[in-house]
Amino acid sequence: MGTGIWAMHFVGMLAMKMPIALSYNPGITTLSGAIAVLASALALHIISPTHLAPRRLFGGGVAMGAAICGMHYTGMAAIPVSPAISYSYVLVAASAAIAIVASTIALWLVFVLCRRKSKNILWLQVGASLIMGVAICGMHYTGMAAAHFVDTSICSTAVTLEKMTLVYGIILTTTLMLSSAIALSVLDAHLVEHRRIATTLTRENEQLFELAHHDHLTGLANRSKLKEHLTNAIHVARRRGRELAVLFLDLDGFKQVNDAAGHGVGDILLKEIGNRLVLAVAPAHGFVARVSGDEFVIVMDGKLGPRLDEQCQAILAAVRQPFPFASDIYEVTASIGGALYPVHGVDARSLMNHADGAMYAAKRSGKNAVLFSENASVRKTAMASDLARAIQTGEFELFYQPIVDAATQQTHGAEALVRWNHPQRGLLTPGDFVPAAEELGLIHSLGDWILDEACSRLAQWQSTGLGYTMSVNLSAVQLQDESFPARVEAILKRHTIAPGHLIFEVTETFAIGRMDACAQALQALHVLGVIVAMDDFGTGYSSLSHLHRLPVGELKIDRSFIKGLPQDKDAFRICEAIVALAHSLKIQVVAEGVETLEQHHAVTQLGCDRLQGYFFAKPMSWADFSAYAERNRPHTPNAGPVWLAA
């Protein structure tokens, strides 16, 4: 910038026609160039702040105008003529005014254009450059007009720059300076872009790290972060000879809140519980993580002793506090299982397993309680006795949730869901006892009872002309039992029902995780004529690529995708792809977890064949379902699943 102004000045002077040959003092010429560069540096300094106050702008214009005038008249002084050049003070003042006004306008234009984003920014910059150029030329030629040379003037013969030498010097200097400026500008632009990319990547990596280590709903640490923290805490406890406690917490009654108020309220409750837990353990510097659904883990270290019992009771009290939402009040409690380092384990995995087992023992003992690992074996024995008694005395009952045909809006069938009428603890859902039944080896007898009861009801439907289907959930333990298909066949024969109306649901996670063993077991059931349904579809890994290897006749899209419809466009596209894939393989699609009219419309638009959820009906007893079925009885009996021919 300074070199350009300086070059313009001397090119203008070289254009001046004089009766004598002019030469220039090299020292003074160089000084004028330095003044031009300093003036440019001053200009850049003035416009560098994000805000340019009027006082700063005017002061900068005066200083820069004075510097430009200084450069001009110093350059004029580089001409060694005798007698000396005289000046018209009026024109000198005019040239100074032009320089100040031009500098002020130039500073304002550069400041504005540097911070403006527009498609026409290039043309605006060109226009601003022309204005600056005209202003500087006006100042120069006004200053030249102010100069008066005597006709008899002579030029000194001392060491000077001849006219052509100055021309070549200006060309060389200007070329070098402008080339260097352009090269530095390009390099700086690349460096700025690299810094921008590096900053963006750093920020995105931090966000990815945050997402990978924190639960998106509550903001608490997730399972991955918990494992890292617990491993480090064990190292510290081992080195310092301290105790460490792992508390595995599961909410009691959370499913009932979800069922009654919907998953939106359930999510808000989970956030509130997370906040309460953080506050409850803050005095002891506890670490809180959410590991799944309604399960949390708390890690506490240091000198525990009686403080641990007090802390556990404080946690229970925090969770028990009523949760008001809108005009309703919801209440949940917590079952906590604890494990101590080094008493119950010396690594993260063993401590988590012991705490998890103790939590289930606490839940089976009546909930809203804390149990540590040494008490779990006693509770486990009691649960085994309770389950065995319940199977023998008929404490279990099946509830039925309707499955609706999307095209006709009529009942197509039902899913059988087991409940335990516990004499002390009331009505229990599968999550309260099925894991224990699997662990204790009682799932086979319980599963056989469920299947026999469901087939008995299915036979009643068929005897009255109702072609409903009956869906029954299978445990992974049942599928691994080689004798299970033979027992299924015996039950089908005993109740003389069409096997195509019986549907076995297996979770996608188990089916995909143990592909070969699961494919063999499901194929044995498929040979009997029953339908295999993949439950919670979309939550597993590589399920789409492996789906064709399993004898699946029905897919149940996981409720986590249905929950976001129709607003969640990603969920909509995923569901759309699942439906298209399933239909291309002649597989029927069931949307489960339909709770609102909007979700109903969305899954119908997607082309789902069957619908299930609270929008239609909650799980109900056999008597209630019979009344429901009578009210929604189809005009003509269902001919059975349309995919049997395949």
In a domain, residue 420? The reply is yes
Location of structure tokens 């402008």 = 178
Tell me the pLDDT tens digit for each residue of 455-475. 999 999 888 888 899 999 998
Tell me the pLDDT tens digit for each residue of 24-61. 777 777 787 777 777 777 766 766 666 777 777 787 77
In a domain, residue 172? The reply is no
pLDDT at 487: 92
Residue 323 contacts residue 330 (beta carbons within 8 Å): yes
Residues 326 and 451 in one domain: no
Answer with the one of 379, 412, 428 that is the final residue of a domain.
379
Instruction: Provide the strand spans (E) within 538-587.
Output: 554-557
In a domain, residue 641? The reply is no
Q: How far apart are CA 358 and CA 344, in angstroms?
A: 11
| Residues making up the chain, counted from first to last | 646
- Does residue 324 have a pLDDT over 80? yes
In a domain, residue 205? The reply is no
- Residues forming a β-bridge with 418: 398
pLDDT at 350: 84
Domain count, the chain: 3
Q: How far apart are CA 575 and CA 569, in angstroms?
A: 10
CA angle 316, 319, 324 (to 5 degrees): 150
DSSP collapsed to 3 states, 536-550:
EECCCCCHHHHHHHC
Helix, strand, coil percent values for the chain (each to nearest 5): 60, 15, 25
Q: How far apart are CA 421 and CA 217, in angstroms?
A: 34
Residues 437 and 341 in one domain: no
Structure pTM? 0.48
- CA distance between the termini of the chain: 81
Q: How far apart are CA 22 and CA 15, in angstroms?
A: 11
Residues 439 and 586 in one domain: yes
Residues 414 and 563 in one domain: yes
Secondary structure (DSSP) of 198-253: HHHHHHHHHHHHHHHHB-TTT-SB-HHHHHHHHHHHHHHHHHHT-EEEEEEEEEES
Tell me the pLDDT tens digit for each residue of 121-176. 677 667 767 777 777 777 777 877 777 777 767 776 454 555 556 565 656 666 66
In a domain, residue 501? The reply is yes
Answer with the one of 139, 161, 183 that is the final residue of a domain.
161
Tell me the pLDDT tens digit for each residue of 339-380. 888 888 888 888 888 898 888 888 877 788 888 876 555 556
pLDDT at 382: 67
**What is the pLDDT averaged over residues 436-452?**
87
Q: 3-state DSSP call for residue 3?
A: helix
Q: 3-state DSSP call for residue 552?
A: coil
Tell me the pLDDT tens digit for each residue of 589-598. 999 999 999 9
Residues 74 and 123 in one domain: yes
CA 521 to chain CA mean position, Å: 38
Q: How far apart are CA 64 and CA 101, in angstroms?
A: 10
- Residues forming a β-bridge with 556: 590
Q: Which residue has the higher pLDDT, 542 or 298?
A: 298
What is the rounded (10 degree) CA torsion for 556, 561, 563, 567? -140
- Does residue 644 have a pLDDT over 60? no
- Does residue 230 have a pLDDT over 90? yes
Domain of 311, in residue numbers: 223-379
The lowest-confidence range among 195-199, 450-454, 495-499 is: 195-199
Residue 42 contacts residue 20 (beta carbons within 8 Å): no
Q: Nearest Cα to 24, choosing from 11, 34, 37?
A: 11
Residues 363 and 508 in one domain: no
Residues 142 and 238 in one domain: no
Strands 531-537 and 502-507: parallel
Residues 39 and 133 in one domain: yes
Calculate the average pLDDT of the chain: 80
- Does residue 494 have a pLDDT over 50? yes
pLDDT at 642: 38
**What is the pLDDT averaged over residues 600-611?**
93
| Peptide bond between residue 49 and the one before it cis (omega within 30 degrees of 0) | no
Residue 79 contacts residue 153 (beta carbons within 8 Å): no
Residues 326 and 443 in one domain: no
Q: For residue 433, what is the domain's CATH number?
A: 3.20.20.450
Answer with the one of 350, 379, 408 that is the final residue of a domain.
379
- Residue 535 phi/psi, 5-degree rounding, is -90, 160
- Residues forming a β-bridge with 87: 147
| Peptide bond between residue 83 and the one before it cis (omega within 30 degrees of 0) | yes
Q: For residue 313, what is the domain's CATH number?
A: 3.30.70.270
In a domain, residue 414? The reply is yes
Residues 6+ apart with CB under 8 A from 599: 562, 563, 565, 566, 591, 593, 613, 615
Q: 341: alpha, beta or left, given left = phi > 0 and alpha = psi -120 to 50?
A: beta
Residues 420 and 370 in one domain: no
In a domain, residue 259? The reply is yes
Q: Nearest Cα to 440, choosing from 495, 364, 502?
A: 364
Residue 622 contacts residue 400 (beta carbons within 8 Å): yes
Residues 63 and 150 in one domain: yes
- Residue 646 banded pLDDT, cuts 50, 70, 90: very low
Tokens of 38: 């300093």
In a domain, residue 372? The reply is yes
Q: How far apart are CA 487 and CA 452, in angstroms?
A: 10
Residues 439 and 512 in one domain: yes
